[in-house]
């Protein structure tokens, strides 16, 4: 579980750093679908960036034991 928290925090930090670099018109939000879970449960983390057009896709660090998916326009 420690690595899970580290990976999530690293991803949020990376995305928030990008938001600062792009300017004040950027909105970043992070949500999860559960507040409690067991080792057998899965968790969905959604990161939403708004206010940027034609921004490069953020590169997340390697997240072992994570399955990532990208959905967006």
> What pLDDT, on a 0 to 100 scale, did the predictor assign at position 70?
67
Q: What's residue 11's pLDDT? A: 63
CA–CA separation, 31 and 63 (whole Å): 18
pLDDT at 17: 62
Helix (H) or strand (E) run with residue 2 in it: helix 2-22
pLDDT at position 50 is 81
CB 17 within 8 A of CB 64: no
User: Mean pLDDT in each 10-residue stretch from start to end of the chain (73 residues)?
Assistant: 55 60 71 88 82 74 75 60
Domain boundaries, the chain: 2-35+43-50
Q: What is the DSSP letter of 57?
A: P
pLDDT at position 33 is: 92
């Amino acid at each position: 579980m420690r690595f899970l928290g580290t990976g999530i925090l690293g991803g949020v930090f990376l995305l928030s750093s990008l938001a600062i670099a792009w300017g004040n018109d950027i909105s970043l939000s992070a949500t999860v679908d559960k507040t409690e879970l067991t080792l057998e449960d899965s968790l969905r983390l959604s990161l939403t960036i708004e206010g940027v057009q034609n921004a490069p896709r953020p590169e997340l660090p390697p997240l072992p034991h994570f399955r990532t998916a990208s959905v967006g326009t």
